[in-house]
Amino acid sequence: MAWRNLFRRGEGKAPDEPGILDRLKAGLQKTRTMLTDGLDNVLRGHRQIEESLFEELEELLIQADVGMKTTLELVDWLREECRQQKMTDPQGVKPLLAQRMKEILGSCSAPLAEGPDQPTVYLVVGVNGTGKTTTVGKLAARCQRRGQKVLLGAADTFRAAAIEQLETWAARSGAEIVKHQAGADPAAVAHDAAQAAKARGVHTLIIDTAGRLHTKSNLMAELEKIEKVLARSLGRRPDEVLLVVDATTGQNAISQAKMFKGAVEPTGVVLTKLDGTAKGGIVLAIAAEVGLPVKLIGVGEGIDDLRDFHPELFVEAILAEGS
C-alpha cells in the first residue's frame, strides 16, 4: 500500500499479490463492490454528490480503522459542508475531507520535544508487542547519528529476555545502557538510569518499559510509579511519555489511549508497523477523541525505519488505494 511505497528506501514497489485478493474476493463474493479502491475510485463512481457517495466514504474510513464515531463525525461534517457550499462535483469532496483530517491530526500535533535541560528524557509505554523496545532502539540510533550521547534504561524487568533484547539495540545503536536483573523493580531501574544520565552528562535518556494491557490496574499502577520515581529523580516530568500503538490495532487502541492517559498522561503516540497493509486510521480517532498527537512512525524492523509523522502524507495514504 501507499506507506510501503512512500517509505521503503531503495526498493521497488510492493509486489502485487493477485492470488490473495482474488481469494479474498471469492470468499466474500456476496458482498457488494470492493471498497479497497480508495477515495479516487469512490468519487469517480458518482456523477454528482449523493447520499450513496457518503456511505461509501464511511466504508472507506471504517476500513482504515478510523472507527465508527470519528467516521460518522467526519462524514456528517462533510455532508453539511457540501450542502452549505452547494457543491455538486464529487471531485470537490477530496480536498475538503483531506483538509478536515489534517486539521484533526494537526490540531494537537507537535514535534518530538527536547528538554530545555539535559538530559532529554523519553519514557516509552504501551500494550504488549506493539514495538516499544524496537522503537527505543531506533530512536537511540537516530539520536546517536545526530551526535547525541544516548543512555537506555531497561525498565522492562518482567518479560523473558527483554533486557537482552534492549542490550542488543544498545550495541547496535552505540548507546549506553543501565539495567538491573530480571524481576527487579522497574522504578528503581528508572531512578538509576536518571541518576546515571545526569552523572554521565548524556544528551538523551530513553526508558523502555514492559508491555502491559491497559485494563490491568496493578500494572498501570506500576507504570504510574515508574513515572513518579523518574520525575522525582529528574526534578521534572519526562520530556515525552510516548505511547506505542501498533498500526494493525483496531478500535481497542482508543481504550488503550484513554487508560494510559488516565495513568501516565502520554504526550504523544508512536505508530508502528506501518510497513504492513494496515492503515493505522485509529490515530485519527485517538487524536479526535483523546487528543493525543502522533509524533513518530515505525516503518520496518530495521534500525533506520523510524520517521517523523507528517499529517499530510498520512492522510494521503489513508485515502489512497487499498492493499
Partner 1 sequence: MIFGNLSEKLQDVFARLRGRGKLTEKDVDAALREVRLALLEADVNFRVVKDFIGRVKSRAMGQEVLGSLTPGHQVIKIVNDELTQLLGGKAIPLTMASTPPTKIMLVGLQGSGKTTTAAKLAAMLGKRGRRPLLVAADVYRPAAIKQLQVLGETVGIPVFNMGQGQSPVNICKAAVEHGRSHNNDVIIFDTAGRLHVDDELMEELGEIKEAVEPHEILLVVDAMTGQDAVNVAASFDERLDLGGVVLTKLDGDARGGAALSIAAVTGKPIKFAAMGEKLTDLEVFHPDRMASRILGMGDVLSLIEKAEEVMDQEKVKALGQKLAAAQFTFEDFLEQLNQVRQMGPLDQIIGMIPGLAGAKQLQGLQVDESQLRKVEAIINSMTPQERRNPSLLNGSRRKRIARGSGTTVQDVNRLVKQFNQTRELMKKLGTFDKGKRRMSKGFLSFFQ
Ligand X SMILES: Nc1nc2c(ncn2[C@@H]2O[C@H](COP(=O)(O)OP(=O)(O)OP(=O)(O)O)[C@@H](O)[C@H]2O)c(=O)[nH]1
Chain contacts with ligand X (rule: CB under 6 A): 126, 128-134, 156, 159, 162, 210-211, 244, 272-273, 275, 298-301, 305
Q: Comparing C-alpha atoms, which of 308, 256, 298 is closest to residue 132?
A: 298
161 binds, among partner 1, Mg ion, ligand X, none (CB under 5 to 8 A by kind): partner 1
Query: Residue 296 CB: number of other CB atoms within 10 A?
Result: 22
Site size for Mg ion (CB under 5 A): 2
Grid coordinates representing 293 are 498527537
169 binds, among Mg ion, partner 1, ligand X, none (CB under 5 to 8 A by kind): partner 1
Cα–Cα distance for residue pair 168/300, rounded to 1 Å: 17
β partners of residue 245 = 271
**Shortest Å, Cβ 208 to ligand X:** 7
**Shortest Å, Cβ 253 to partner 1:** 7
298 binds, among Mg ion, ligand X, partner 1, none (CB under 5 to 8 A by kind): ligand X
**Shortest Å, Cβ 322 to ligand X:** 19
**Shortest Å, Cβ 125 to Mg ion:** 11
Window contacting partner 1 (CB under 8 A); options: 43-51, 194-202, 233-241, 246-254: 246-254
Cα–Cα distance for residue pair 288/70, rounded to 1 Å: 7
Q: How far is CA 39 from the centre of its chain?
A: 23
Site string (269-308) toward partner 1, x via CB under 8 A: ----x-xxxxx--x------------------x-------
* Residues between 22 and 51 that touch partner 1 (CB under 8 A): 23-24, 27-28, 30-32, 34-35
Q: Kindly state whether residue 272 participates in binding Mg ion, applying the rule CB under 5 A.
A: no
Q: Kindly state whether residue 55 participates in binding partner 1, applying the rule CB under 8 A.
A: no
Burial 154-182 (b: 16+ CB within 10 A, else e): bbbbbeeebbebbeebbeebebbbbbbee
Grid coordinates representing 31 are 458482498
Cα–Cα distance for residue pair 176/94, rounded to 1 Å: 48
Grid coordinates representing 80 are 453539511
Q: Kindly state whether residue 63 participates in binding partner 1, applying the rule CB under 8 A.
A: yes
299 binds, among Mg ion, partner 1, ligand X, none (CB under 5 to 8 A by kind): ligand X
In this structure, are residues 102 and 312 in contact, taking their beta carbons and an 8 Å threshold? yes
Q: Kindly state whether residue 138 participates in binding Mg ion, applying the rule CB under 5 A.
A: no
In this structure, are residues 233 and 119 in contact, taking their beta carbons and an 8 Å threshold? no
Residues that bind Mg ion in the complex, under the rule CB under 5 A: 132-133
